[in-house]
Amino acid sequence: MSSNRKRLPVGGRIRREVPVNFTFDGRKLIGYRGDTLASALLANGVTLVGRSFKYHRPRGIFSAGPEEPNALVTLGSAGRREPNLPAATLELADGMVVESQNRWPSLAFDVQSVNGLLAPLLSAGFYYKTFMGPTRRAWMFYEHFIRKAAGLGRAGTGPDPDRYEVRHAFADVAIVGGGPAGLSAARAAAAVGARVALIEQDFLLGGQLLAEPSDSAAAGWLRQAEAELEGFETVALMKRTTAFGSYDGNVLGLVKQRDPTDPKPNGEARQTVTMLRARSIVFATGAIERPIVFSNNDRPGVMLASAARTYLNRFAVLPGKKIIVATTNDGAWRTAFDYAAAGAEVTVADLRAVPPAALAAEAARLGVVVRAATRIVDLHGGHAVRQVTLNGPEGQSSAACDLVCVSGGWSPTVHLTSHLGSKPTYRDDIDGFVPGSFPAGRFGAGAMMGTYATADAIDDGHRAGSEAAASCGKSAPVPAPSKLDLDETATSSLREIPSVGRGKAFVDFQMDVTTGDIELAHREGYESVEHLKRYTTLGMGTDQGKTSNFAALAAMAALRKATIPETGATTFRPPYTPVAIGALAGRAIGHHFKPIRRTPMHDWHMANGAKMLEVGLWMRPYFYRQSGRNVNEAYVAEMRTVRQAAGLMDISTLGKIDVQGPDAAIFLDRVYANGFAKLAIGRARYGVMLRDDGIVFDDGTTTRLAENRFFMTTSTAKAADVLSRLEFLLDTAWPDLRVAVTSVSDEWAAMSVAGPNSRAILNAAFPALDVSEEALSHMGLLESEWEGRALRILRLSYSGERAYEVYVGATAGEQLWSRLLEAGRPFDLKPYGVEALGALRVEKGHVAGPEIDGRTTLDDLGLGRMAGKRSGFVGDVLRRRPALRAPNRQRLVGLECIEEGKRLRGGAILFLPDEKPHGHGRGRVTSVTFSPERGHYVGLALLAGDVAAEGSELVAIYPMKAETVRARVVSPVFIDPQGERLHG
Amino acid sequence: MASLTSSRDFSLCVADCPLIQIEGWDATLRQFEKSVSASLNTKLPASVGETVRHKGLLTIRVAPRRLWLALDEGTEAPALVVDPDLGCSVPLGEGRVRLKMAGPGIARLLSGCIAVDWHAPTAAPGRAVQTSFHHVPVLFLRTGETACELIVPRSFARSLSDWIAGG
Amino acid sequence: MLRIECPCCGPRDHDEFRYGGDASVTRPAHDDPDPEAWYRYVYIRTNPAGQHREFWQHVTGCRQWMVVERDTRNHAIASVDFARKSTVRKQRA
Amino acid sequence: MARYSAFSILRNALSGQKNWQRAWRAAEPKPSYDVIVIGGGGHGLATAFYLAENHGIRNVAVLEKGYVGGGNVGRNTTVIRSNYLLDGNTQFYEFSMKLWEGMSRALNFNVMFSQRGQLVTAHSADQLDGFSHRANVMRLNGIDADILDREDVRRLVPYLDFSDTARFPIHGAIFQGRAGTARHDAVAWGYARAADGHAVDIIQNCEVTGFLRDRDSIVGVETTKGRIGAGKVGLAVAGHTSVLGVKAGLELPIESHVLQAFVTEPLKPLVDHVVAYGADHFYVSQSDKGGLVFGGNLDGYNSYAQRGNLGVVREVAEAAIALMPCISRVRLLRHWGGVMDMTPDASPIICPTPIDGLYLNGGWCYGGFKATPASGWCFAHTIATGKPHPLVAAYGLDRFRTGHTLDEAGAGPSAWLQ
């Protein structure tokens, strides 16, 4: 087959001096710069491009745009494999590797085309009526085969090697569509000083003007319009960019394809998603031609009339030499004329009884055969059309042909304007839907408003552009745009009614939905548009039914003997054309999926053997490898260090809030369940906050720094929620309180020195400070400076050992950390991680996340005495609800394992020893640790009040490991119940 | 100040960010502002997003009752005493980092980071915008025609500067 | 993509804000002991399909809590004001 | 009603598909019914079916303001599971699972219930402990559950991100083998057809605009098709419960929020299970047609608009790539929003109401689809007997006043955080 044998010697908007090599199913082919994959395939005489979804019927190129239902291909391989791309939207680039899909073993010979023979069985909805037996799980068997047969292309297997980007952008006026109306709107808006973004999905501006001959007046107009726009500094011409969605707040979602022909993309992302915030938007999205429904109307060689004209005039491809133009309107005649002028033998079959005289005269001049009141009823040919059956006043006749151009009228492209929920309204005069209404700041222009004639669309664009600019406060007189009259006459003039011969007549090509399927849906009562879609899968393909929606609606209306508006309108959902998930994710992938939060000592941990753990956004040391080979070994060793010598823990992740103001004490008194008003300056207190519903919200320690100033800490997880909650109360409930709350979480590096040697270590590290028991007793504060930074030392303990929380300005965090380790070396100070931290607190009976689970009350956690008889604090009233005070509620207890060699596990369910273990049990183990002090596993549990007496015996059942362990209820404080280690 | 990335189009440096936050009480805000203004010997920015520069001290209004006093490197902190009946102050400089950016490619690069309109009057040189950058609250300071700073929380600084350098 | 016009920072994407729910309910005084009042405040919602007064905090901006009036059917925003202002108004009334 | 079977398909194929009957009659309202169920979604239709099937109450109408199945039953991501932790939820959802297992045959309508298994990834030892707790409860209640370690997960779903660059490395997973998906529309249609087979009137395009009262009792409804009397009225309009509740004079702890759903272009089989990401909001399955169907978190503010915002679309896409880097080039085909009734504890409400003659079924949050059969079964019982079915005893409206809330996530009473 000779290369480009269907290419005309001259014309088109292709650059013949730049040949482009590509392969299709392994065949090496050549096109030119300026081609799409579709035009290059047609130029090379490739008509069979894909197989349909259900019946695997041969399909060719049907359109010249994103409405393409048939010619879907897979591009690239491995991580770059991209399935289901419409050939008509792929800009041809050197080295493109293209494969057809949904066929096996080959495109020309596809085994599953046998489905076509089974078609009578595979009617719409047949799945719902069978595959129900013989057993309950039978569907799982059938589904296996059905899934394999379904689907189109295949996804890639590995990570995507390409980059994507998400960008933010702003404009005064965004204009969607670079056709005559959009260009005119852009000019009008730019001329009055508006910042304009003109968005065009194609790699050329012009829209339908590109279908005009490249030496025509239209081409001249386009050149001038483009040059004029390029002269404005405030106009961004965004080509290769699709507005995929229209969102609230006048936001458009755009996706831009990198220029695939650019040999040096210079790091530009393969695709860029832009969130464009516009003050006003002009939709100039044009219209999509409708097909005609007849038997075998899906065969390769059937093409939309406007697409055929585009391939001829824009790409200089003559896909057929003997063509039939089947139409209901004037527009398609221009295709007939241009093909005749290019030397093709052309017959027009117009459904109308009397086509306009002017068209007939021009046809006669060009030797085009005209058959009025004539329709196509059938088509013959497998991989390419050979012949059609026409039915007209003279009866049925056959006509040989190699291309059938169809036009059933036009549908305005109202997808984007429907995304915000405004229902399109039907306009009788154009037999189509236009946008129902526009919210403020949104405008429509041109064919999408039903204004089809180019001259009118240009004027309409001018109007819309001016109004859009005016709505953002920019208006001034602007000269009218230059005229362009293409001599178009009225467009759609007759509703096309499906006509079906022997073969299937397709309404939705991609989903293989036929007129028979629509009849069946109607017969079975699935007559609303949504039922029709869902029952037949109509419009569910990758083209979202861009060419099929109207025909289906018309067919259903006819069956219901109703009008189109009575039958309904389809709801369009974003995106307008499919968008790669990777493009929407942009650079927020891999490590950047969520930002990483590092403490001031992060680098030290990394350099010193810490195994790090993700805790929310933070990275925290889980354990240190020098403590043990794995976490279980390490945490026990680290616990021993803390209990026997001293440990150093990075606690910088704690939430820290500066609370100041004359009313700060009153404020804290209300937000905490326990009182703070009487807290002495220089003292710290453990506090618990409740939610409004009386459930425990968070806990932490708050220290009074001065009469009017407190330093609050929160859990790592709740830091942001607590701050927002405090601000909420101050702004909305108690604005009379003079209190300021500020996050100082990042301000301080925080570390805990815990263990019997902790005081000695502080003495060594801070020789100038008095950290004696007298000067700094338990719950005391010492404020000072270290290396020019503020220093706070709080005598607090989470582990039950004598311990100090040392806070220093974050910039000195790592330095102080190292200093403490150095000072602590003689005292066996070692760092420990969060696993040991958690284990130490379990041994001491402190509650944490597993117990403060959003369902527990103060009483449940054994903290009821903190609130005492207080009232007037957040959550106090609803915590008194009966269910939250029920005596048999589960409450915190200690558990110890009483079986030699066995262990407790968090998440075990507790039962009485003699009861059948079934149901939810009496409680559950929340947290466990091996206790080096006790020599066995201990844990905290939430246990029903009636069986929670100390000394009771229970079994802890853990079905996931088939374990049953005997345990005894004990005090939750496993070490030093008198608190002697804390004091002294 | 450490340079993280530098090319013909773009440079990115990271620096410490001495910073004090002051805040006045609702009912006595005018008195508070008067006393601060007198004590700093400069007028205060009137509305959120405005800044006033005075002798190495940049005053930024970050909320109706809240101001940030950002010090140039090497500048002495002002001797500011806030009357507790009028308001309060809290140092925030240890916990913030300045990411300084400059170069002709800056507007494009920043469009991949924050939703701030580089060409809007609210982002003109001398203006400040608080916004979010990959979920993190940041303060954008427009310092010149092709220069700006982001004041970011220290814990997120590396993650965010990596993001910028990768753009 | 909602855009909320913060009274002091200007129009911003809604993801700079934290949602705070229905602002038409009245929070009882901190020391109000009436369980019914607290029950209604915490749980009962009119949940209108239409104009809804609601709290939003400009959490990555000025950190102020706002009261926004928004139509829940189409997200059209009728007004935005500082919550402090409307709370003070309410308390004075 | 003709039975559906392979034989009926064959017979109809031979007769050119001309002999199929309507799946359900196009009924017009009678003057009154024993029971009116408002809402022709999955729950309402199932309720009508079980009223007839289990309680012999056949003088029943289902009133639907649009078309059958046009609400959340046809907008969700079709996940069915029974992996609930709390006493009350566990048993209810397992009962539902059992009904799913027999549904196609019970309705003579293939709802394509595919028990392909669901797994939720865990990203730390603590998270896996939490999952183990849940799995233990499930097993002790006779429900299948397994805990998988990282290598088990890798064997089962090798396409997840097991690389060094994963922001939240996979530590393990909880797995329920009997969980899966179903063809959502078929559930509505199947119940509609089966209810119609019991002479229930299914009345489409019939919007309820008010309630008829006799003193303090509700005795019927005002509709766009006129007044219709009723012995009892059941409300099953999740998403819009408040709108009708206000008309009836109910005070409700419900807010309407939007949850988005997403579908990609059809692909050859890739995802063989239901997979949920434990480190963020993302879950995915692959429909039999080949599209990846997925969802994420609520948009997060009260909404009755069936559309979502772009920010959440991006967040869901980010989570999708974080879990499954190989779908970067797969393209999103459609996204849409469903309006959810969110309750303050994320558990539903099925109960008699303080208003005589009015029964409430709502507050399904984002979990209504999987509950469809059990909800219908128990609501029918509640309406028929006037007392809650034991399985929904915990789902009373008064639980918020008493404190008997069922808060699976412990997220507290802000509905949008549930």
At residue A256, the pLDDT reads 98
* Largest distance between two CA atoms of chain B: 52
* Largest distance between two CA atoms of chain C: 41
Chain A contact set for B21 (CB, 8 A): 742
Whether B89 and B99 share a structural domain: no
* Residues B131, C60: C-beta atoms closer than 8 Å: yes
Does residue A779 register a pLDDT over 50? yes
pTM for this structure?
0.97
Domain CATH for D214: 3.50.50.60
**Can you give the residue range of the structural domain that contains A521?**
495-583
Distance from CA of B75 to the nearest CA of A (A): 15
Q: Which residues of chain B have pLDDT under 50?
A: none
Whether A239 and A269 share a structural domain: yes
Last residue of a domain, one of B54, B74, B93: B93
Last residue of a domain, one of D285, D315, D342: D342
Residue spans of alpha helices (H) in C1-93:
35-43, 83-92
Whether A398 and A436 share a structural domain: no
**A92 neighbors D153 (Cβ within 8 angstroms):** no
> A656: helix, coil or strand?
strand
Assess if residue D22 is contained within a domain.
no
State the burial class of residue C85 (Cβ atoms within 10 Å of its Cβ: 0-12, 13-18, 19+). middle
**D211 neighbors D353 (Cβ within 8 angstroms):** no
Whether A734 and A648 share a structural domain: no
Rg value, chain D, Cα? 21
Assess if residue D171 is contained within a domain.
yes
* Residues A127, D112: C-beta atoms closer than 8 Å: yes
Assess if residue D328 is contained within a domain.
yes
Chain C contact set for A692 (CB, 8 A): 38, 41-42
**Can you give the residue range of the structural domain that contains B78?**
18-93
Whether D285 and D271 share a structural domain: yes
At residue B79, the pLDDT reads 82
Number of domains making up chain D: 2
Does residue A606 register a pLDDT over 70? yes
Measure the CA–CA gap between A687 and A700, rounded to whole angstroms.
6
Measure the CA–CA gap between A595 and A593, rounded to whole angstroms.
7
DSSP letter for A79, please.
Answer: G
* Residues D290, A537: C-beta atoms closer than 8 Å: no
Domain CATH for B27: 3.30.70.1520
At residue C89, the pLDDT reads 67
Domain CATH for A177: 3.50.50.60
Whether B33 and B84 share a structural domain: yes
Number of domains making up chain A: 7
Does D155 contact A at CB distance below 8 Å? no
pLDDT in tens, A48-95: 999 998 899 999 999 999 999 999 999 998 889 999 999 999 999 999
Domain CATH for A681: 3.30.70.1400
Last residue of a domain, one of D327, D342, D357: D342
Tell me the C-alpha to C-alpha distance, in Å, between residue C20 and each of A732, A743, D253, D413. 11, 19, 16, 12
pLDDT in tens, A122-177: 888 888 998 988 888 889 999 999 998 888 888 887 889 999 999 999 999 999 99
At residue A134, the pLDDT reads 85
Whether B78 and B135 share a structural domain: no
Assess if residue A10 is contained within a domain.
no
**D395 neighbors D371 (Cβ within 8 angstroms):** no
Closest residue by Cα to residue A98 from A25, A21, A19 = A25
Whether D175 and D273 share a structural domain: yes
Q: Which of A51-55, A618-622, B119-123, D410-414 has the lowest mean pLDDT?
A: A51-55
Last residue of a domain, one of A392, A408, A424: A408
Return the partners of chain C (3 or more C-beta pairs < 8 Å): A, B, D
H or E element in which residue A115 lies: none
* Residues B26, A587: C-beta atoms closer than 8 Å: no
Whether B87 and B116 share a structural domain: no
Does residue A491 register a pLDDT over 80? no
Last residue of a domain, one of B93, B127, B156: B93
Assess if residue A136 is contained within a domain.
no
* Residues B136, C60: C-beta atoms closer than 8 Å: yes
Please name the residue that has the structure tokens 């399927």: A517
Assess if residue D16 is contained within a domain.
no
Does C5 contact B at CB distance below 8 Å? no
* Residue C22 half-sphere exposure toward CB, CA atoms < 13 A: 24
Assess if residue D364 is contained within a domain.
yes
DSSP letter for A184, please.
Answer: H
Whether B6 and B29 share a structural domain: no
Whether B60 and B118 share a structural domain: no
Whether B11 and B50 share a structural domain: no
At residue A818, the pLDDT reads 98
Whether A563 and A632 share a structural domain: no
**D221 neighbors D228 (Cβ within 8 angstroms):** yes
Whether A563 and A434 share a structural domain: no
In single-letter form, the type of residue at position A724 comes to: S
Whether A460 and A329 share a structural domain: no
* Residue A600 half-sphere exposure toward CB, CA atoms < 13 A: 27
Mean pLDDT of chain A: 95
Band the pLDDT of A487: cuts 50, 70, 90. confident
Assess if residue A121 is contained within a domain.
no
Domain CATH for B107: 3.30.1360.120
**Can you give the residue range of the structural domain that contains D161?**
118-181+256-342
Band the pLDDT of A492: cuts 50, 70, 90. low
Whether A464 and A538 share a structural domain: no
Distance from CA of C56 to the nearest CA of D (A): 10
Report CA torsion sign: D174, D177, D183, D184.
negative
At residue A500, the pLDDT reads 67
Does C44 contact A at CB distance below 8 Å? no
**A829 neighbors A757 (Cβ within 8 angstroms):** yes
Measure the CA–CA gap between A403 and A318, rounded to whole angstroms.
10
Enumerate domains of chain C plus CATH numbers. 3-92 (3.30.2270.10)
Whether D412 and D363 share a structural domain: yes
pLDDT in tens, A496-516: 666 666 789 999 999 999 999
Whether D284 and D209 share a structural domain: no
Whether A638 and A763 share a structural domain: yes
Whether B22 and B42 share a structural domain: yes
Domain CATH for A935: 2.40.30.110
**A439 neighbors A469 (Cβ within 8 angstroms):** no
Assess if residue A134 is contained within a domain.
no
Chain C contact set for B129 (CB, 8 A): 9
Number of domains making up chain B: 2
Band the pLDDT of A733: cuts 50, 70, 90. very high
Whether A182 and A263 share a structural domain: yes
D336 backbone dihedrals φ, ψ, rounded to 5°: -150, 170
Last residue of a domain, one of D342, D360, D388: D342
Assess if residue D284 is contained within a domain.
yes
Whether A716 and A783 share a structural domain: no
* Residue A48 half-sphere exposure toward CB, CA atoms < 13 A: 18
Given 3-state DSSP classes, what are the helix, strand and coil percentages for chain A, each rounded to the nearest 5? 25, 30, 45
Whether B65 and B129 share a structural domain: no
Does residue A675 register a pLDDT over 50? yes
Whether A305 and A188 share a structural domain: no
Please name the residue that has the structure tokens 């065969």: A299
Band the pLDDT of A1: cuts 50, 70, 90. very low
Whether B66 and B104 share a structural domain: no
**Of all residues in chain D, what percent carry a pLDDT higher than 90?**
95
ipTM value? 0.97
At residue B160, the pLDDT reads 98
Whether B114 and B152 share a structural domain: yes
Which positions ≥6 away from A435 have C-beta within 8 Å? A283, A412, A414, A417, A418, A422, A424, A425, A444, A448, A449
* Residues A156, D90: C-beta atoms closer than 8 Å: no
Last residue of a domain, one of A692, A709, A743: A743
Please give the structure tokens belonging to residue A554: 């018309």
Assess if residue D287 is contained within a domain.
yes
Mean pLDDT of chain D: 96
Return the partners of chain B (3 or more C-beta pairs < 8 Å): A, C
Whether D76 and D219 share a structural domain: yes
Does A592 contact B at CB distance below 8 Å? yes
Domain CATH for D331: 3.30.9.10
Return the partners of chain A (3 or more C-beta pairs < 8 Å): B, C, D
Whether B75 and B45 share a structural domain: yes
Last residue of a domain, one of B62, B77, B93: B93
Tell me the C-alpha to C-alpha distance, in Å, between residue D48 and each of A403, D26, D62. 55, 16, 7
Last residue of a domain, one of A92, A116, A140: A116
At residue A489, the pLDDT reads 65
pLDDT in tens, A268-318: 999 999 999 999 999 999 999 999 999 999 999 999 999 999 999 999 999
Whether D372 and D247 share a structural domain: yes
Assess if residue D1 is contained within a domain.
no
pLDDT in tens, D300-355: 999 999 899 999 999 999 999 999 999 999 999 999 999 999 999 999 999 999 99
Whether A689 and A542 share a structural domain: no
In single-letter form, the type of residue at position A792 comes to: R
Chain D contact set for A164 (CB, 8 A): 328
Residues in B lying within 8 Å of C, measured between beta carbons:
26, 47-49, 62-64, 66, 115, 122, 129-132, 136-138
